[in-house]
């Protein structure tokens, strides 16, 4: 440890206080150098008579963001974090943590090793480890219940939720909220010095208050297991908190460490790390390193239907002024009503005040005149999904928008090259494919037609960032990345119900796989009529060799379009979906009409067919260059389609279960249906070369 500017931990002495600064940009992750630096600093604090107390703080924008996640796959290096925290706690001079930005995971554990804590008013603390498939591994689960009780501790470590200064203060996690970030260091020094003459408060020496309810851990375990849908870390985090409540501190620490190490090496942790880094890697597109986004101050939306209004709300929530254009006064009125209703939803859930809602609406301008777009920097068209309608709108946008503005379409499957060709500036045209509800769903597919310029693509990513979304680049093809894969999995689901499964069997199997909803429940939610209209439109171009399942058509013919009509695959009477008995009759009749001898399809086969269909199509999408890397496919499925995060996405899953096994499975399915199950050439190549999809991510 030195006091030079480049050192990971620096120490200076100010007014008898050792100010220990962790300096490991960008987020002060706890690398080996940081751990060693802290141990060395504590030695100085103990031995230097001029030092009366110490403060630990972080350089840059945060206190400490936690253990260095990049070290997780590698052999651990001493000193280990639990020992570092113990060393801090054992120091015989008061040590205060000065928390700004965030203290997360191991960063919060270091703060809990200190004898007192000061937070700046806008800082956050928490244990997000469960989101990485692990639990706190340096005493977090043992010290936290001693400070705030087992109920609060269980809530924080099992959810990964971060709390602000006010809640942290109320829960007893910190001692003082500084007046401002500027005042933080002096507040921490004052606090540390105030403790010089009093006995030091070491959390490990405190006792754990018993939970209010005797059966707390049993009921909590059942609740968390249900909510985790197959993910292990939340339940294991609870187990560690229970150890704190039932074992002496040293024993509890051993239990925590054992669970931490077991989980760190698990497939779920690998997959969740893939999602953590994938979410950040998607915006770093190879070849676009030097592209700069264009100005983005004012936005516009064409169309005030479900999608248009949802996009407008997402933009208003991010602080943008938004112009909404509609074709006539009644439609414009409906558009405004949709925006109002969506914002009201935030108010009723306590996520927006009534005043803030008014302020949001104050930034929305409504117009029938494309002239109102003249100073908008980016427009998103969200009108009816029809090529001719879109071309007409883009012709008008071309005439109305200022030079350099970005012209985006929210189409889900139309050819954006053709839309771009309806303008005199195809270089400015891009696809921005939002997912409904646009103010909730994190995915934004950024679809790049052939002639779009790099800075327009960079502007798409900048918009995603400003809206708090995960932008993923896709090339132009039918359905882009997400809906193209969805089309394949829906087909498999259709085939299976004609061959012997029932929709609720398929849903149950996929929900057991970890999806929040099975494919048939999703269809009911989205509405069966849209896909039906699309099937009718494309009837002439359908490949006659391809198997076509008519069951969904039969259901739509009854006027059953899912939740919105109270009936679809399921019946929605008392709020809860129950299998629609008429659907079963239709399915049996259709199988009989085609002479299909129905068979029982086991849950494992249902999962394999849907997963392998995703993998095979995902691999094709990478091979064709529609997705730049396998991780882009994974992030689309995780952030837009509810693929379980803890499985990392379909191409991460295939790496974990083994490419040869999946290829063999696809070849076995191909014996019955060679047209559908033609293996992707990329998958075959990777198997032949003994490689994985992860090899293509780097």
- Least distance to ligand 3H9, CB of residue 577, Å: 36
Pick the catalytic residue: 14, 83, 129, 289? Answer: 129
Q: Does position 111 bind ligand 3H9 by CB under 6 A?
A: no
Q: Which of 14, 48, 70, 172 binds ligand 3H9 (CB under 6 A)?
A: 70
Does 175 engage in binding with ligand 3H9 (CB under 6 A)?
no
**What is the distance, to the nearest Å, from the Cα of residue 536 to the centroid of all Cα atoms in its chain?**
35
Cα-to-chain-centroid distance, residue 661:
28
DSSP 8-class letter at 567? B
Please state, in angstroms and rounded to a whole number, the distance separating the CA atoms of residues 561 and 581.
Answer: 15
> Applying CB under 6 A, which of residues 37, 66, 145, 618 lies at the interface with ligand 3H9?
66
Out of 96, 98, 102, 486, which residue is the one contacting ligand 3H9 (CB under 6 A)? 102
Gyration radius from the chain CA atoms: 28
129 is catalytic: yes
Taking each helix axis from N to C end, the angle separating 233-246 and 216-228, rounded to the nearest 10 degrees, works out to: 170
> 287: Cβ–Cβ under 8 A, 6 or more apart, which residues?
none
Among 9, 11, 53, 67, contact with ligand 3H9 (rule: CB under 6 A): 67
Kindly state the tokens that stand for 393: 């709108």
> Within 10 Å of residue 659's Cβ, how many Cβ atoms?
22
104 binds ligand 3H9 (CB under 6 A): yes
Nearer to ligand 3H9, 36 or 607 (CB): 36
**Residue choice 94, 105, 426, 644 for contact with ligand 3H9 (CB under 6 A):** 105
Rank residues 65 and 173 by Cβ distance to ligand 3H9 and give the closer one. 65
**3-state per-residue secondary structure call for 55-95:** EEEECCCCCECCECHHHCCCCCCCCCHHHHHHHHHHCCCCE
Of 76, 55, 59, the closest CA to residue 67 belongs to 76
The alpha carbon of residue 592 and the mean position of all alpha carbons in its chain are separated, in whole angstroms, by: 43
Query: Cβ 12 to ligand 3H9, closest distance in Å?
Result: 25
Q: Which residue is nearest to ligand 3H9 (CB)?
A: 105
Q: Which one, 410 or 697, has the nearer CB to ligand 3H9?
A: 697
Compare residues 66 and 679 and give the one whose CB is closer to ligand 3H9.
66
Spell out the residues 6+ positions from residue 549 whose beta carbon is closer than 8 angstroms to its own: 491, 494, 495, 497, 498, 590
Nearer to ligand 3H9, 104 or 633 (CB): 104
> Could you tell me the smallest distance in angstroms from the CB atom of residue 276 to ligand 3H9?
7
Q: Would you say 100 or 488 has its CB closer to ligand 3H9? A: 100
Is residue 258 a contact residue for ligand 3H9 (CB under 6 A)? no
**Smallest separation (angstroms) from ligand 3H9 to the CB of 162:** 8
Nearer to ligand 3H9, 420 or 470 (CB): 470
Sheet holding 17-22, edge to edge: 9-14, 17-22, 53-58, 95-99, 116-119, 176-177
Comparing CA positions, the residue from 28, 19, 13, 89 lying closest to residue 58 is 28
Report the alpha-carbon distance of residue 431 to residue 410 in Å, rounded. Answer: 6
Closer residue to ligand 3H9 (CB): 65 or 366: 65
Closest to ligand 3H9 by CB, 129 or 377: 129
Residues numbered 121 to 140 that lie near ligand 3H9 (CB under 6 A) are: 128-129, 132, 136-138, 140
Nearest alpha-carbon partner for 88 in 59, 119, 54: 54
Query: Can you list the positions of beta strands (E) in 375-460?
Result: 378-381, 406-409, 429-434, 443-448
Stretch that binds ligand 3H9, among 64-72, 88-96, 150-158, 207-215 (CB under 6 A): 64-72
Contacts with ligand 3H9 by CB under 6 A: the residue count is 24
Query: Judged by CB under 6 A, which of 68, 499, 505, 617 binds ligand 3H9?
Result: 68
Is 549 a binder of ligand 3H9 (CB under 6 A)?
Answer: no
For strands 102-104 and 124-126, give the pairing.
parallel
**Residue 259 binding ligand 3H9, by CB under 6 A:** no
* Alpha carbon distance 489, 613 (integer Å): 6
Residues between 488 and 527 that touch ligand 3H9 (CB under 6 A): none
The separation between CA 195 and the C-alpha centre of its own chain, rounded to angstroms, equals: 42
Residue 223 CA to residue 215 CA, distance in Å, equals 12
Which residues does 397 contact at the CB level (< 8 Å), separation at least 6?
302, 370, 373, 379, 381, 407, 423
Residues 363-392 that bind ligand 3H9 (CB under 6 A): none
Q: Give the contact letters, 145-174, x = binds to ligand 3H9 (CB under 6 A), - = no.
A: ------------------------------
One symbol per residue from 19 to 58: x for binding ligand 3H9 (CB under 6 A), - otherwise; what is it?
-------xx-x-----------------------------
Q: Kindly state the smallest distance separating residue 70's Cβ from ligand 3H9, in Å.
A: 5
Minimum distance of ligand 3H9 from residue 322's CB (angstroms)? 25
Q: Residue 110's closest CA among 40, 57, 184, 175? A: 57
CB contact set of 520 (below 8 Å; sequence gap of 6+)? 493, 503, 504, 506, 507, 569, 570
The three-point CA angle 279-473-402 to 5° equals 120
Residue 126 or 519 with smaller CB distance to ligand 3H9: 126
Question: At its nearest, how many Å lie between ligand 3H9 and the CB of residue 269?
Answer: 10
- Determine which one of 78, 89, 109, 684 is catalytic: 109
Q: For the CB of residue 128, give the shortest distance to ligand 3H9 in the complex, in Å.
A: 4
Asked if 511 is an active-site residue, the reply is no
**Is there binding between residue 280 and ligand 3H9 (CB under 6 A)?**
yes
Q: Is the Cβ–Cβ distance between 659 and 686 less than 8 Å?
A: yes
Catalytic machinery residues: 109, 129
Q: Which residues bind ligand 3H9 (CB under 6 A)?
A: 26-27, 29, 62, 65-70, 81, 102, 104-106, 109, 128-129, 132, 136-138, 140, 280
């Amino acid at each position: 440890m030195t006091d030079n500017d480049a050192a990971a931990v620096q120490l200076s002495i100010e007014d008898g206080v050792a100010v220990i600064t962790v300096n490991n940009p960008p987020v002060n992750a706890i690398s080996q150098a940081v751990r060693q630096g802290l141990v060395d600093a504590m030695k100085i604090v103990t031995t230097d008579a001029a030092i009366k107390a110490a403060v630990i703080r972080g350089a840059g924008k945060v206190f400490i963001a936690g253990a260095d996640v990049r070290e997780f796959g590698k052999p651990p290096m001493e000193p280990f974090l639990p020992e570092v925290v113990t060393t801090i706690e054992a120091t015989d001079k008061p040590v205060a943590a000065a928390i700004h930005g965030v203290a997360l995971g191991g960063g919060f554990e270091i703060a809990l090793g200190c004898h007192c804590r000061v937070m700046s008013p806008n800082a956050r603390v928490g244990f997000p480890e469960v989101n990485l498939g692990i639990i706190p591994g340096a005493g977090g689960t043992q010290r936290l219940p001693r400070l705030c009780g087992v109920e609060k501790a269980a809530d924080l470590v099992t959810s990964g939720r971060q709390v602000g200064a006010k809640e942290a203060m109320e829960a007893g996690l910190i001692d003082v909220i500084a007046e401002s970030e500027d005042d933080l260091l002096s507040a921490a020094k004052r606090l540390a010095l105030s403790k010089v003459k009093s006995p030091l408060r070491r959390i490990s020496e405190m006792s754990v208050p018993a939970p209010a309810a005797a059966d707390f851990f049993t009921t909590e375990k059942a609740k968390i297991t249900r909510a985790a849908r197959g993910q292990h870390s939340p339940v294991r985090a609870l187990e560690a908190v229970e150890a704190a409540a039932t074992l002496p501190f040293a024993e509890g620490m051993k239990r925590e460490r054992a669970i931490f190490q077991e989980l760190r090496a698990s497939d779920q942790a690998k997959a969740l790390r893939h999602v953590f880094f994938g979410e950040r890697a998607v915006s770093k597109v190879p070849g676009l390193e030097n592209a700069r986004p264009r100005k983005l101050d004012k936005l516009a939306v064409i169309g005030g239907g479900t999608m248009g209004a949802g996009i407008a709300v997402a933009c208003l929530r991010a602080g943008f002024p938004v112009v909404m254009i509609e074709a006539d006064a009644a439609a414009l009125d409906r558009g405004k009503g949709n925006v109002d209703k969506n914002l009201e939803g935030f108010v009723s859930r306590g996520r927006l005040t009534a005043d803030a809602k008014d302020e949001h609406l104050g930034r929305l301008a409504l117009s029938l005149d494309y002239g109102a777009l003249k100073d908008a920097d980016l427009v998103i068209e969200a009108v009816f999904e029809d090529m001719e309608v879109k071309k007409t709108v883009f012709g008008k946008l071309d005439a109305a928008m200022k030079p350099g503005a970005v012209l985006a379409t929210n189409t889900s499957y139309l050819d954006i090259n053709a839309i771009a060709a309806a303008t005199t500036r195809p270089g400015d045209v891009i696809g921005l494919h939002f997912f409904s509800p646009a103010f909730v769903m994190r995915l934004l597919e950024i679809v790049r037609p052939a002639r779009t310029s790099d800075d327009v693509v960079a502007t798409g990513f900048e918009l995603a960032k400003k809206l708090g979304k995960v932008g993923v680049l896709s090339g132009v093809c039918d359905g882009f990345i997400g809906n193209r894969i969805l089309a394949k999995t829906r087909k498999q689901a259709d085939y299976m119900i004609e061959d012997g499964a029932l929709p609720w069997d398929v849903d149950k199997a996929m929900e057991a796989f970890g999806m929040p909803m099975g494919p048939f429940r999703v269809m009911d939610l989205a509405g069966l009529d849209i896909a039906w209209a699309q099937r009718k439109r494309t009837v002439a171009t359908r490949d006659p060799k391809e198997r076509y399942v008519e069951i969904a058509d039969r259901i739509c013919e009854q006027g059953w379009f899912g939740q919105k009509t109270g009936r679809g695959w399921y019946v929605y009477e008392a709020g809860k979906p129950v299998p629609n008995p008429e659907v079963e009759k239709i399915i049996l009749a259709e199988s009989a009409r085609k002479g299909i001898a129905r068979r029982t399809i086991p849950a494992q086969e249902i999962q394999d067919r849907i997963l392998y269909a995703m993998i095979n199509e995902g691999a094709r999408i990478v091979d064709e260059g529609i997705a730049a890397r396998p991780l882009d496919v994974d992030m689309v499925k995780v952030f837009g389609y509810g693929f379980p995060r803890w499985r990392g996405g379909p191409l991460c899953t295939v790496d974990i279960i083994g490419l040869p096994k999946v290829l063999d499975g696809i070849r076995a399915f191909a014996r019955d249906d060679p047209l559908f199950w033609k293996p992707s050439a990329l998958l075959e190549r990777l198997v032949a070369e003994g490689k994985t999809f992860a090899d293509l991510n780097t």
